[in-house]
């Protein structure tokens, strides 16, 4: 899949709005803490609000951290307060400097690297997910599956076309590696930290530029390169969570629904979320779009926008 930001066939109505749980404050996070991180600003509020509503309906017991894409945060701050989301204040200057170094010609788009601030949160385990997503199930089921040296990094879907160019064949450490869409990943900063990003680029920036796929791709080639250069063991969600599907694409086919109206893939495995990666318009008539539209309506009613 590409890097993201960003007929009613479901028959499913999202859960009714409920009181939104308040996550633990970052300063008081306990050892072993787990949480979910997103990146957003007001410009993508059309995506942020249904995501937050779906999160409140399915994952309210797991702390959610919102990393600012920039300072355009008027509506975003209000939504974070209403939904009980922790607005991240960790310093992004060193990461922003890395983004500027790697992508000097794209000052707006290079902020996509801010997703990696998820690795600086006071969490022992973090799940990052792109905000052009809605959740159908409790993702906390995916925590506790890391095993350093065996499973260092969990992804949901592959991305064979949107990571490297053909020059990767020159480098032994890039042969036979798993290429992933970084719109969803789980890891620990004890396994993969921001410092690892800085160290690898300091040493191998020339190789990164030699092999990375161009075409408005920024975070995804980098996340793949760092994990591959460090030799991390990458597993898929379906390999680590029994009965979990590796399907999440908004254009998915062969989707059915269980007795509770929750989506299943063609093998009857459980679809945890839908991701509108590469979408050029808001959802309207595809298989997951009714749920997205209902969550959007509920979120706008909650915020009265």
Give the max Cα distance, the chain. 55
Please name which of 219, 209, 204, 230 lies closest in space to residue 167, comparing C-alpha atoms. 209
What the block records as the tokens of 12 is 């499913």
Whether 288 maps to a domain, the answer reads yes
Instruction: Look at residue 4 in the predicted model and tell me its pLDDT.
Output: 56
State the CB neighbour count (10 A cutoff) for residue 99. Answer: 23
Q: Give me the residues paired with residue 164 across strands.
A: 212
Instruction: Look at residue 19 in the predicted model and tell me its pLDDT.
Output: 40
At 202, phi and psi to the nearest 5? -60, -35
Whether 179 maps to a domain, the answer reads yes
Residues 138 and 13: beta-carbon distance below 8 Å: no
Give the count of domains, the chain: 1
Instruction: Look at residue 107 in the predicted model and tell me its pLDDT.
Output: 85
Whether 296 maps to a domain, the answer reads yes
Record the pTM. Answer: 0.90
**91 Cβ contact list (under 8 Å, min separation 6):** none
Instruction: Look at residue 131 in the predicted model and tell me its pLDDT.
Output: 98
Whether 3 maps to a domain, the answer reads no
Instruction: Look at residue 108 in the predicted model and tell me its pLDDT.
Output: 83
Whether 177 maps to a domain, the answer reads yes
Instruction: Look at residue 146 in the predicted model and tell me its pLDDT.
Output: 98
Distance CA 51, CA 243 (A): 23
Whether 83 maps to a domain, the answer reads yes
Whether 5 maps to a domain, the answer reads no
Q: Kindly write down the DSSP assignment for every residue of 76-136, as one continuous string.
A: HHHHHHHHTPEEP----HHHHHHHHHH-TT-TTGGGGGGGGGGGGSS-SEEEEE-SSEEE-
CATH number of the domain residue 83 falls in = 3.90.550.10
Residue-by-residue pLDDT tens, the chain, 305 positions? 555 544 333 334 444 344 444 444 444 456 689 999 999 999 999 999 999 999 999 999 999 999 999 999 999 999 999 999 999 999 999 999 999 999 999 888 999 999 999 999 999 999 999 999 999 999 999 999 999 999 999 999 999 999 999 999 999 999 999 999 999 999 999 999 999 999 999 999 999 999 999 999 999 999 999 999 999 999 999 999 999 999 999 999 999 999 999 999 999 999 999 999 989 999 999 999 999 999 999 999 999 98
Whether 183 maps to a domain, the answer reads yes
Q: Is residue 180 within a helix (H) or strand (E), and if so which, with residue range?
A: none
**Residue with the two structure tokens 């592959």:** 158
Residues 116 and 219: beta-carbon distance below 8 Å: yes
For residue 215, give its domain range.
34-303
């Amino acid at each position: 899949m590409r890097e993201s930001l960003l007929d009613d066939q479901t028959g499913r109505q999202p859960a009714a709005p409920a009181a939104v749980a308040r996550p633990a404050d970052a300063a008081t996070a306990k050892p072993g803490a787990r949480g979910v991180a997103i990146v957003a600003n007001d410009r993508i509020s059309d995506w942020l609000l249904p995501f937050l509503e779906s999160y409140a309906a399915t994952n309210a017991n797991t702390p959610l951290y919102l990393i600012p894409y920039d300072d355009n945060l008027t509506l975003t701050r209000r939504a974070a307060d209403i939904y009980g989301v922790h607005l991240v204040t960790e310093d992004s200057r060193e990461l922003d400097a890395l983004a500027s170094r790697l992508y000097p010609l794209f000052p707006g788009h290079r902020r996509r690297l801010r997703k990696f601030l998820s690795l600086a949160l006071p969490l022992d385990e973090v799940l990052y997910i792109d905000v052009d997503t809605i959740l159908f199930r409790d993702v906390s089921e995916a925590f506790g599956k890391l095993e350093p040296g065996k499973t260092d990094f969990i992804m949901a879907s592959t991305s064979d076309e949107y990571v490297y160019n053909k020059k990767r064949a020159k480098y032994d450490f890039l042969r036979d590696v798993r290429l992933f869409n970084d719109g969803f990943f789980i890891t620990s900063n004890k396994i993969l930290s921001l410092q690892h990003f800085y160290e690898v680029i300091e040493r191998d920036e020339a190789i990164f530029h030699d092999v990375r796929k161009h075409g408005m791709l920024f975070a995804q080639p980098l996340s793949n390169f760092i994990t591959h250069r460090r030799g991390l063991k990458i597993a898929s969600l379906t390999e680590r969570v029994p009965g979990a599907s590796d399907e999440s694409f908004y254009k998915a086919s062969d989707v059915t629904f269980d007795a509770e109206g929750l989506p299943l893939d063609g093998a009857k495995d459980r679809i945890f979320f839908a991701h509108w990666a590469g979408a050029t318009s808001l959802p309207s008539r595809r298989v997951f779009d009714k749920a997205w539209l209902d969550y959007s309506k509920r979120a706008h009613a909650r915020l009265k926008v």
